[in-house]
Amino acid sequence: MKLFNENIDKSKNNIKELKKPEFLTCQECDKEILKELVHSNLSTCVYCGYLFRVPAKKRIEMIADENTFVEIGKGKASTDPLQFPEYDEKLKKAKKATGLKEAIVCGTCKIGGYNTGLAVMDSYFMMGSMGQMVGEKITDLAEVCLEKQLPLIIFCASGGARMQEGIVSLLQMSRTTVAINKLNDAGLLYVTVLTNPTTGGVTASFAMQGDIILAEPKALIGFAGPRVIKQTVKDDLPEEFQTAEYLLEKGMIDKIVERKDLRNSLAHILSLH
Amino acid sequence: MQAYISKDDTYNDVSSAWKNVQTARMQNRPQAMDYINALCQDFFEVKGDRCLGDDNAIITGVGRINGRTFTIIGQQKGHSIDEKKACNFGMPNPAGYRKSMRAIRQAEKFNRPILCLIDTPGAFCGIEAEAKGQGTVIAEHLQLIASVKVPVIAVILSEGGSGGALALALSDKLLLLENSYFSVISPEGCASILFKDSNKAHLAAESLCLTPKDLKKFGIADDIIREKKDYSRDNVTYAVYKLEKKVEEYLKELDKYTGDELVAKRYDKLLNMKGFN
């Protein structure tokens, strides 16, 4: 006698399939942690405090006053100006993985009650690389800040210029510089927060042009990548080379701020300007 | 040494971009000092950044071109092996960019147009360079050259290597020598990272759209200077003559504006530069 009817129509099964939980591995302590748990804990390792990279939308939640963020340029996406091989596939992947159209989210919001422009780069989108649209979203936001007389805060997280957009990516270094210059001429405050990693053409342009430059602890910040430098000098790199702490010692940044204190720090700076 | 020159405007040789890069890297190609010596009889070199030291990879000075005094900022790679070592193979350190910023400020003080002669594989990637703020200094250099109230004409002589070249390329007018290139990354670097095979550098060069014709098509370059066949230090005068004429023509146009108007136009030009056709 059969105990179970094996011919039950499984398509009528109403039990929803549970989404497979995603785990992240901490680079510091090697422990595996539930991704949702990490990102609900300020994107920090619950065991050792290692700072994971923060998705742009999560960062905005951490920094902006609740319900005040109004996004600008949400639909802007790369036009693949060079028709670079395999670039469209990489873009599709990045869009699917992040839910974003580009490696930066821009808008206006309040922080501690102060109105400001806020741009947050997302290193999960093609390593936060800067192409035509990242540059354009920044210049558009700077234009809004100029019109509305707002300060501008940019959270930087980038592997540098986006290779697949070639010279068009490099051009964004000039364009963002001009946008920042216009804010300077208008006497508007510009603050950058350097997060892990901030490198290449982003470092050599708008990231290091802040009136005030903050950084997260141990963030990798530099112009050339550490591997390239090691290959060039054919020697070991100094301890803590290209970390936020190293840059502070060399006089390149103003302050290292713990992730949990960034909101208050920014509110404080805004209150002083 | 056979230099590669274009025959007409419609050729579409698949490996043309790679030939471009190889020609730009040829040993006997004229460098900044060759142009400076051909352009001015009375060039006075101005050295040191008043902070960290000096850098032979960037030459700054004052000289007259057709009777008009210019600030000239050039990137030099060196010809002999000793020169190359002294110039760090044309890879500037922060001191070089700081020296260049000194020159830019002086150009504004004395109301002199600036001529930038660009030729670098890239800014130097060394430990000291990072420690002295290579990223910061390029960022600041971009800000300064963008806002200077005198005409800025930039010429890419051979290698336009990424940010290290861009610092001097932000200008009112950008010209490229016919066999120069301007790229966000070297073809070898691109091939190694994106194609996982540095032997595919010729394909990367093609994909990167780094030739003068590409840059003109994108609206990034204003003009291309033709080169003589077998272009070298020994026959630099043809290209120099062409360059002189172009500079004169551009200055006629740019001289019509006040300092503030020039800056406003420069900002508009860059903000409206979408970079695709």
User: Tokens 């077998």 map to which residue?
Assistant: B230
Q: Please state, in angstroms and rounded to a whole number, the distance separating the CA atoms of residues B83 and B52.
A: 21
Q: Do the bridges between strand A190-198 and strand A212-215 make them parallel or antiparallel, or are there none, so unpaired?
A: parallel
Contact predicate A154/A117, CB 8 Å: no
How is residue B133 annotated by DSSP?
Answer: T
Q: Please say whether the beta carbons of B176 and B169 come within 8 A.
A: no
Question: What topology is assigned to A53-271 in CATH?
Answer: 2-enoyl-CoA Hydratase; Chain A, domain 1 (3.90.226)
CB contact under 8 A, B163 and A204: yes
Q: Dump pLDDT digits (tens) for B231-248.
A: 898 889 889 999 999 999
Residue A34's contacts (CB-CB under 8 Å, 6 or more residues apart) are A21, A22, A23, A24
Interfacial A residues in 13-52 facing B (CB < 8 Å): none
pLDDT of residue B180: 97
Residues of B within 8 A of A170 (CB-CB) are 162-163, 166, 182-184
Whether pLDDT at B12 is above 60? no
Q: Which domains does chain B have, with CATH numbers?
A: 30-271 (3.90.226.10)
Neighbouring C-beta atoms of residue B134, cutoff 10 Å: 26
Domain layout of chain A by residue ranges: 19-52, 53-271
- B6 band by pLDDT with thresholds 50, 70 and 90: very low
CA distance B137 to chain A (A): 7
Residue B149 makes CB contacts below 8 A (sequence gap 6+) with B108, B258, B259, B260, B262, B263
What is the torsional sign of CA A250, A254, A257, A262? Answer: negative
**Do residues B73 and B49 touch, judged by C-beta distance below 8 A?**
no
Chain B residue numbers touching A224 (CB-CB < 8 A) = 123, 125, 129-130, 134
pLDDT band at B14, cuts 50/70/90? very low
Rounded to an integer, the average pLDDT of A219-235 is 90
- Say how far apart CA A262 and CA B3 lie, in whole Å: 56
Cβ–Cβ < 8 Å for A104, A120:
yes
Query: A134-159: b or e for each residue (b if 16 or more CB lie within 10 Å)?
Result: bbbbbbbbbbbbbeeebbbbbbbbbb
Specify the pLDDT at position A230: 87
A53-73 pLDDT, tens digit each: 999 999 999 999 999 999 999
DSSP strand pairing (B173-177 vs B181-183): unpaired
Q: Is cis: bond before A197, omega within 30 of 0?
A: yes
Quote the tokens at residue A69.
């963020």
H-helix or E-strand containing A214? strand A212-215
Residue with tokens 């700077």: A142
Query: What is the pLDDT, as a whole number, of residue A11?
Result: 55
Q: Read off the pLDDT of each residue in A38-44 and give the average, rounded to a whole number.
A: 90
How far apart, in whole angstroms, are the C-alpha atoms of residue B209 and residue B17? Answer: 8
Percent of chain A with pLDDT over 70: 93
Residue B275's pLDDT band (cuts 50, 70, 90): confident
Q: What is the mean pLDDT of residues B95-116?
A: 98
- Decide if A164 and B131 are in contact by the 8 Å CB cutoff: no
Whether residues A161 and B185 touch (CB distance < 8 A) is answered with yes
Average pLDDT of chain B is 92
Q: Tell which of B52, B127, B193 to mutate to test the A interface (max A CBs under 10 Å).
A: B127
C-alpha distances (whole Å) from B15 to each of B19, B195, B210, B211 are 6, 17, 12, 11
Could you tell me if B29 and B22 are in contact, meaning their C-beta atoms sit under 8 angstroms apart?
no
- Structure tokens given for A99: 């839910």
pLDDT of A200 over the 80 cut: yes
Is the per-residue pLDDT at B2 higher than 50? no
Q: Which of B187, B53, B236, B198 is nearest to B129 (CA)?
A: B53
Residue B3 has pLDDT above 50, yes or no: no
Q: Rounded CA gap, A78 and A84, in Å?
A: 12
pLDDT-based confidence at residue A153 (cuts at 50, 70, 90): very high
CA angle B174, B176, B182 (to 5 degrees): 90
- Res. A12: pLDDT tops 80: no
